[in-house]
């Protein structure tokens, strides 16, 4: 398979690049390195083709997509708070960038585009666990932009016969997730704070629930989605199907790191969802997806990776 990974220098993208190479596929990466890191790709530079550029340019997107069989579209600005602060840039990256990728894929004869969507599209829809048929109620510009990308994928499947699959990721974590970004996800931020004996900042009472999903599960889902016999524009939840509270997460991380957790609570942030748990039965049935790493093992592996980096 000739595969393009957009955002391939990022957290999820670089893990996907590694898996594709292990399976013997030809891999091209496009990234503008706005949030991705070159060091994530250093072990693979001899084995990949790297295109540096911004997908907000159709010309750059077209160059990156040309000659590819499958496009894994991971490029994004992955943060709800960032989107609240700067919705214009979030929209440009997630919506214009996705449209350029889809146009380029259509024009270049790509077989399939696998699109990285987000569970944030559900918002505070009261249905829990979340099922793909639930009415989206996006609460943040990030969620709106991700949902718009899904709809473009569906439209291109219907109008242009371009095969597209959208994967709604639930709270992905694992190695290569940047703990130093101001928009860092909660797990690497908590691990870093515990190791430094700092207070853990919790937005809200900590009883909000999340379906934390180790990155290996997401990578496996992408590989399955590239070849599964599914109808164009289909959407799938990718998670473990197990919700835990943030307070429970903190207790697990304290146990793993051997540190005592001290927390400080701040008001809930605009755009944050209260509860989120995935129904993954559709992905099981149609993709053959099954979580391969569950929460405790994933947390242990993530803590070990962060510790190894000092």
Half-sphere CA count of 98, side-chain side, radius 13 A: 27
DSSP 8-state symbol, 38: G
Distance CA(87)–CA(140), nearest Å, equals 9
Q: What is the pLDDT of residue 117?
A: 97
Q: What is the pLDDT of residue 185?
A: 85
- pTM, full prediction: 0.95
Catalytic residue set? 142
Picking from 59, 58, 44, the residue whose alpha carbon sits closest to that of residue 3 is 44
2-170+215-241+277-292 has CATH 3.40.50.10090 classification: no
- Residuewise pLDDT in 10s, the chain (310 residues): 999 999 999 999 999 999 999 999 999 999 999 999 999 999 999 999 999 999 999 999 999 999 999 999 999 988 888 899 999 999 999 999 999 999 999 999 999 999 999 999 999 888 999 999 999 999 999 999 999 999 999 999 999 999 999 999 999 999 999 877 765 689 999 999 999 999 999 999 999 999 999 999 999 999 999 999 987 899 999 999 999 999 999 999 999 999 999 999 999 988 888 989 999 999 999 999 999 999 999 999 999 999 988 6
Residue 69: phi, psi to the nearest 5? -95, -45
DSSP 8-state symbol, 39: G
Ordered by start, the domain boundaries in the chain are 2-170+215-241+277-292
Half-sphere CA count of 216, side-chain side, radius 13 A: 12
Question: Which residue in the block uniquely carries the two structure tokens 């289909």?
Answer: 234
Per DSSP (E only), the strands in the chain are: 2-6, 26-31, 48-52, 70-73, 112-118, 163-169, 172-173, 200-203, 209-210, 213-214, 234-238, 244-245, 263-266
């Amino acid at each position: 398979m000739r595969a393009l990974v957009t955002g391939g220098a990022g957290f999820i993208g670089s893990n996907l690049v590694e898996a594709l190479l292990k399976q013997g596929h030809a891999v091209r990466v496009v990234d503008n390195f706005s949030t991705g890191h070159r060091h994530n790709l250093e072990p693979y530079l001899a084995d990949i083709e790297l295109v540096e550029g911004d997908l907000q340019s159709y010309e750059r997107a077209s160059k990156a997509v040309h000659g590819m069989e499958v496009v894994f579209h991971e490029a994004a600005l992955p943060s709800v708070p960032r989107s609240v602060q700067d919705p214009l840039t979030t929209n440009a990256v997630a919506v214009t960038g996705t449209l350029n990728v889809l146009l380029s894929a259509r024009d270049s004869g790509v077989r399939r585009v696998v699109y990285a969507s987000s569970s944030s599209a559900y918002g505070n829809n009261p249905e829990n666990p979340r099922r793909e048929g639930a009415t989206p109620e996006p609460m943040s510009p990030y969620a709106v932009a991700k949902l718009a990308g899904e709809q473009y994928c569906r439209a291109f499947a219907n109008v242009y016969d371009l095969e597209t699959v959208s994967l709604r990721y639930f709270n992905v974590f694992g190695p290569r997730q940047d703990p130093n970004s101001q928009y860092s996800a909660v797990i690497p931020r908590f691990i870093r704070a515990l190791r430094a004996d700092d207070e853990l900042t919790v937005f809200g009472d900590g009883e909000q629930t999340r379906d934390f999903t180790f990155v290996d599960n997401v990578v496996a889902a992408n590989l399955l989605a590239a070849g599964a016999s599914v109808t164009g524009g289909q959407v799938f939840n990718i998670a473990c199907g197990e919700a835990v509270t943030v307070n429970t997460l903190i207790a697990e991380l304290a146990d793993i790191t051997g540190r005592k957790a001290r927390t400080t609570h701040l008001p809930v942030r605009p755009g944050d969802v209260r509860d989120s748990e995935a129904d993954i039965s559709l992905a099981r049935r149609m993709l053959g997806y099954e979580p391969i790493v569950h929460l405790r093992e994933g947390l242990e592996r993530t803590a070990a990776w962060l510790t190894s980096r000092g």
